[in-house]
Amino acid sequence: MARRLDRCRRVRHRHATVMATPRVIVLGGGLSGMAAAYALAQAGWDRVTIVERGPELGGLAGTFETDGHFYPLAYHHILQRDRGLLFFLDRIGALPDVRWRKISMLFQLKGRLFDLADPVDFLRFPMSLADKLRFVRLMLRCFGKSDWADWNERSAAELVDTWGGPEVRRAIFDPLMRLKFNRPCEEVSGAWLGARLHFREGSAPLGYIPGGNWTKVLCDGVTRLLDDASVQVKLGTSARHLGIQDDRVTRVDLDDGESLEADLVISTVPTEVYQQLLTAARPDLDHVRYTAVVSAILATKQRVTPTFYWMNLASLDCTASGMFMLNALNPTIGAPGDTCLNIMTHVPTRHDTFFHQSDDQILAGYRADFHRVFGFELKPFWTQVNRLGMYAPVFHRGYENPPLRDAVLTNVYCAGNYRTFPSIASTGTALASGVDAGAAILADHGGTSDLPAAIDGYRLASMPRG
């Protein structure tokens, strides 16, 4: 009888061990953190906690409200090849609402505007006919190439010079790399540029959701998925210290004084933030650098012509890097009759002097840019200036993705767009990176996830125009 009771106790203990899932702390509640938590929760893991310093989940995909309307922190659009995003829009039931529009992308150069997708403008663009044909050859080759691993160690300059020619680089791509990274093409990854051109961001139709701001629809929808799966979320706080024992994180101390016991940790915060939590230097993460963005969202009753969605200020003589007419893609954003603009500047780092200028100084520069381009004074009736300190990783020549599993701490996993090279850094790649981290944890603990394969194989069934 005693042996039978002891056997029953051992069986119950073994069953309880199998059923008890690890305590997982997700650092950061942006899209990568949300997706990682969802991947684990979908597999039945019921002790997952997201720690997010902001007032809501979403990170860079967050929104703000003005006069009952929601607006993005900076421009966002849905790409037809962004499988991670399309999968999650489908999962939350929002994909049938997406509408697709062909947009106009303009280049402002030497006081003139050019739409390179328009045959007449393309012929007017200050570049020789032979170089224009080389530019077309470059674009067609990039459209047709999906695997860019063979360009990992080569520069954007080499890519453009090889397939397009030096004059194409000097006329188009050198200014674009200066606007995006404040770097010459020689310092930017050829694999990244090729992958970005492959996505056809400027020539293929872009998506939006009528009646609102699609990033809010996405973040609210994924938040509901997490709520339904009983994922715990701690908002308005962040990690200030990691308790480490024997190369494992056992505790996460928050800046509000709470401590969370941890069996596993997923870091989805920028690498600079993660390194500040560590007790020793991490040379394997030092190569990751981030650009910052100053983004002014504003509304005016003025009519702005020509109509465009995206304008690159390629003359390099403006305060701003680009302008976006948000209502040209989504006619329902804001109130009827509003022209909603996003004027923004990529800056090298959040330590840049411009990043710390006052709102009035920044807006004065943007109004001067607007007047230079359109010839009249911009008169917005509301503005909001957003400063995004670690906006996007710089995919420089020779960039390597940091490992998914931390190189030192054995129970820490990493996710975020700094791990998505050479793909274009997007909402979808952030989501897919989080899913990959969750799937890796499940695999390391004897489980599986069908989400990575589902995302990789996802295809649009239709693209309704609107």
Confidence of residue 172 (pLDDT cuts 50, 70, 90): very high
Of residues 438, 443, 461, 429, the one with CA closest to residue 90: 461
Please name every residue paired with 239 in a beta bridge, in sequence order, or none if there are none: 254
What is the model's pLDDT at position 203?
78
Contact 117, 203 (CB under 8 A): yes
Q: What is the mean pLDDT of residues 424-450?
A: 95
- Domain definitions of the chain by residue range: 2-59+216-288+402-456, 62-101+205-212+289-393, 131-198
Collapse the DSSP code of 335 into the 3-class scheme (helix H, G, I; strand E, B; otherwise coil) and give the result. coil
pLDDT at 80 over 70: yes
3-state helix, strand, coil in the chain (%, to 5): 40, 25, 40
Confidence of residue 8 (pLDDT cuts 50, 70, 90): very low
Report residue 452: phi and psi, to 5°.
Answer: -60, -45
For the cut 50, the answer to whether the pLDDT of residue 7 exceeds it is: no
- pTM of the predicted protein model: 0.92
Q: Which of 207, 376, 237 is nearest to 300 (CA)?
A: 376
Over residues 228-255, the mean pLDDT reads 96
The yes-or-no verdict on residue 434 having pLDDT over 60 is yes
SS3 131: helix
* CB 426 within 8 Å of CB 394: no
Predicted confidence at residue 14, as pLDDT, reads 35
**What is the pLDDT at residue 4?**
42
User: How many Å is the Cα radius of gyration of the chain?
Assistant: 24
Question: What confidence tens digit (pLDDT) does each residue in 317-355 have?
Answer: 999 999 999 999 999 999 999 999 999 999 999 999 999
* Percentage with pLDDT > 90 across the chain: 89
Of the pLDDT bands very low, low, confident and very high (cuts 50, 70, 90), residue 2 is very low
The 3-state DSSP class for residue 215 equals helix
CA distances in angstroms from 439 to 21, 39, 365, listed in the order given: 15, 7, 46
d(CA 151, CA 305): 40
State the pLDDT at residue 282: 86
Averaged pLDDT, 71-81: 94
Count of other CB atoms within 10 angstroms of residue 128: 12
Residue 378 has phi, psi (to 5 degrees) of -80, 130
Give the integer Cα–Cα distance in Å for 342 and 417.
23
d(CA 411, CA 364): 49
Residue 428 has pLDDT above 90, yes or no: yes
Q: What is the DSSP letter of 189?
A: B
CA distances from 448 to 36, 42, 258, 273, 436 (A): 14, 11, 32, 30, 11
Q: Which of the listed CATH numbers 2.30.30.40, 3.90.660.20, 3.40.50.300, 3.40.50.720 matches domain 62-101+205-212+289-393? A: 3.90.660.20
Average pLDDT over residues 180-197: 94
Whether residue 8 contacts residue 24, with contact meaning beta carbons closer than 8 Å, is answered with no
The arithmetic mean of pLDDT across residues 284-303, rounded, is 96
Residue 11 reports pLDDT greater than 70: no
The structure tokens listed for 283 are 């040379």
pLDDT at 15 over 70: no
What element of type H or E holds 253? strand 248-254
What is the architecture, at CATH level 2, of domain 2-59+216-288+402-456? 3-Layer(bba) Sandwich (3.50)
Burial class (CB in 10 A: 0-12, 13-18, 19+), 63: buried
Whether 31 contacts 58, CB under 8 Å: yes
Confidence of residue 19 (pLDDT cuts 50, 70, 90): low
Specify the 3-state DSSP secondary structure of 252: strand
Residue-level pLDDT at 279: 79
Q: Is the model's pLDDT at 13 over the cut of 50? A: no
How many Cβ atoms sit within 10 Å of the Cβ of residue 260? 17
Return the higher-pLDDT residue of 427 and 12.
Answer: 427
275-297: average pLDDT: 92
Query: Average pLDDT in the 383-401 region?
Result: 95
User: Per-residue pLDDT averaged across 210-232, rounded?
Assistant: 96
Task: Write the CA distances from 64 to 31, 181, 452, integer angstroms.
Answer: 17, 26, 31
Question: What confidence score (pLDDT) does residue 83 get?
Answer: 94
- What integer pLDDT is reported at residue 10 of this predicted model? 37
SS3 332: coil
**Mean pLDDT value across the chain:** 93
Mean pLDDT of 407-420: 96
